[in-house]
Amino acid sequence: MRGLGKSYPAVKGRRGAPGTPAVRATDGVELAVRRGEVFGLLGPNGAGKSTLVRQLTGLLRPDTGSVEILGHDIVRYPERAARLLAYLGQESSALDELTVSLAAETTGRLRGLEVTRARAERDAVLEELGLTPIAGRPLKKLSGGQRRLACLAAALVGERPLLVLDEPTTGMDPVARRAVWAAVDRRRAERGTTVLLVTHNVIEAETVLDRVAVLDQGRVIACDTPAGLKEQVAGEVRVELVWRERAPLEVPEVTALRERAVESGRRWTLRLAPEEARAVVATVTGGAAFAALDDFTLATPSLEDVYLALGGAARQGLVKA
Amino acid sequence: MSVVPAEVLPGGAPAVTETARGAAELGPPARLWPSLAAVYRAQLSRARVARIPLLFVATFQSVGIAVMMRGVVDSGSEAESVVAGSSVLVVAYVALNLLSQYFGQLRASGGLDHYATLPVPPAAVVLGAAAAYASFTVPGTLVTAAFGCALFGLPVANLWVLLAVIPLAGAALSGLGAACGLLAPRPELATLLGQLGMSAALLLGVLPADRMPEIVRLARDLLPSTYGVEAYARTFEAHPDWAVVLVDLGVCAGVGVVSLAVATWAYRRAAVR
């Protein structure tokens, strides 16, 4: 991380999708991403992540607010976004029928590189991501993960100080994932590249992100380091109980637990203070309840729990005041 | 492993304080011709993967129409317009129909985002794709023309004029196709428009105009491919009136410039909403 400061996308957007004017995909979002940081956007489907990214990359004009990237006003000069950032979208349809090698080279050339430079960078990036053996194959014929990796290769050809990656590792095997994060880390270490990452994958988010913003219904409901966010629910542990057939509601302690549990079939999920959790475990592992218990787990909070706990109106009762 | 000289790196020096922060250096914009060449090359390579069966269909369809018309039309001026019409039909099928489908699908699937987040001039994307699709039509058009000439016993001496007809009619029709694909709100509509355009080129271009009612002739005059057909048909004569051929080609070129400009505008509009 380099200094304080700045790649600085502060977005205040409001966007009514055409035809459904009541929808605000991003609603007064304000974020500041520091230079050289791997910053994550986490949120459920429809939270406004993609809209936010489209506003950031100059693809969508925000109705209100401003976006500033590395000192450039993107709302006023949206065409500058393309010269500051590389964007990996979720769609590969523009590259699908090209070979991996040509996709990377063409993208490099369209990013303003000379032919020889584009080819040199293409070779280096393909080698780095382990794509050289399949360089001659069309993207269409590759598996989902390989195709994603090839698109990432295209995004990395032609140096950019900001990478905007929308779910880059979807469908990838662990080897490919590692190659992705190694490539991202190298760029950050060597060139101070800033990375903005959109993700669903909370486990990955926990390991690679410096900071994360949780989006819900177009608003930022939390923004901190993964550890900082976890501290917000640190007082709680998660207890999961799986009953054999049904919950033994004849046991009064179990009946009392029911109103605090999130039920999903035979599975109950509870968020409890540690001493309560101990009591619950003692209850269900002894006596009448134990006969009905199939399995149980006790876990410290993960980003997943934060994500759920902060998840907004749909999960009322889970939000810790 | 990717090697980039340090001096091109914006923010290479650690930014220290808020006040010291300066705007990062912008990456280079892609210039029109190199990026046009890159798009053209990429689009052309797609032919190997996805387009060859369709090009075969385009050629086969035109050859089939020429054969069918052989049963109706004797040689003479009507035969000339059949051969010219079925040859230019290949251009209409590929440049108008397929390109409008391609852009329609690209737009609907979000594929335009890829180009829109690269510093490439919109004209390069549109012209590169249009030029590639026009190039796809070259073999099919030549095959159809040669076959038609053999079938109707027409001279092949002026076949070379196709080298002017293909790019100019190609420009006009692919511009139209790209504009349809980029402006249509849904990909199915883009496909529909492309198909309709091609059907119009088929019906109005291949059938001899003399027997048509006035309104159909007017529609024929409005279709840019007609001028390509006429330019080519005129060259079958023993002493072609080259001035009129040039005028016809000029109309194609003019429509091409306008339709490509519209397509470029449509691309801009579709890419950034």
* A127 to B42: CB separation less than 8 angstroms, yes or no: no
Count Cβ atoms within 10 A of the Cβ of residue A234 and give its class: 0-12 exposed, 13-18 middle, 19 or more buried: middle
- Note the Cα B19 to chain centre separation in Å: 52
* Those residues with Cβ within 8 angstroms of residue A299's Cβ, 6 or more apart along the chain or in another chain: A237, A238, A240
Rounded Cα gap, residues B47 and A211, in angstroms: 44
Rounded Cα gap, residues A251 and B196, in angstroms: 72
User: Which residues between 84 and 113 in chain A have a beta carbon less than 8 angstroms from any beta carbon of chain B?
Assistant: 84-87, 89-95, 97-99, 102-103, 105-107, 109-113
List the structure tokens of A221: 């409901």
More confident residue, A312 or A247: A247
Nearest CB partner across the interface for A35, out of B4, B15, B119: B15
Q: What is the mean pLDDT of residues A268-282?
A: 84
Supply the pLDDT for residue A240.
86
CB pairs under 8 A between A and B: 177
What's the Cα-to-Cα distance from B56 to each of B50, B60, B65, B167, rounded to whole Å?
12, 6, 14, 19
The torsion region of residue A65 among left (phi > 0), alpha (psi -120 to 50) and beta comes to left
Give yes or no for residue A93 having a pLDDT over 50.
Answer: yes
Of A131-140, A169-178, A312-321, B238-247, the range with the lowest mean pLDDT is A312-321
Supply the pLDDT for residue A149.
94
- Which stretches within B184-223 are classed as H helix? 187-206, 214-222
Largest Cα span, chain A: 76
Interface test with A, best of B118, B182, B268, B272 (most A CBs within 10 A): B118
What's the Cα-to-Cα distance from A248 to each of A154, A242, A287, B244, rounded to whole Å?
56, 11, 11, 94
Q: What is the mean pLDDT of residues B163-169?
A: 92
Q: How far is B118 from chain A (nearest CA, A)?
A: 5
Digit-coded pLDDT (tens) for B35-61: 999 999 999 988 766 678 888 888 999
Supply the pLDDT for residue A25.
63
Q: How far is A10 from chain B (nearest CA, A)?
A: 15
Rounded Cα gap, residues B249 and B253, in angstroms: 6
Supply the pLDDT for residue A90.
87
Q: What is the mean pLDDT of residues A29-53?
A: 83
Supply the pLDDT for residue A217.
77
List the structure tokens of A190: 């060597």
Supply the pLDDT for residue B273.
62
Supply the pLDDT for residue A107.
95
Of A273-277, A311-315, B125-129, the range with the lowest mean pLDDT is A311-315
Give yes or no for residue B18 having a pLDDT over 60.
Answer: no
Give yes or no for residue A157 having a pLDDT over 50.
Answer: yes
Supply the pLDDT for residue A315.
46
Instruction: pLDDT band for A318, please (50, 70, 90 cuts).
Output: very low
Among A115, A125, A85, which residue's Cα sits nearest to residue B4? A125
Mean of per-residue pLDDT scores for chain A: 81
* A58 to B272: CB separation less than 8 angstroms, yes or no: yes
Digit-coded pLDDT (tens) for B57-115: 889 999 999 999 888 888 778 888 899 999 999 999 988 999 999 999 999 998 899 99
More confident residue, A1 or B253: B253
Q: What is the mean pLDDT of residues B209-233?
A: 88
Taking CB atoms and an 8 Å cutoff, what residues of chain B touch A72?
A: 23-24, 26
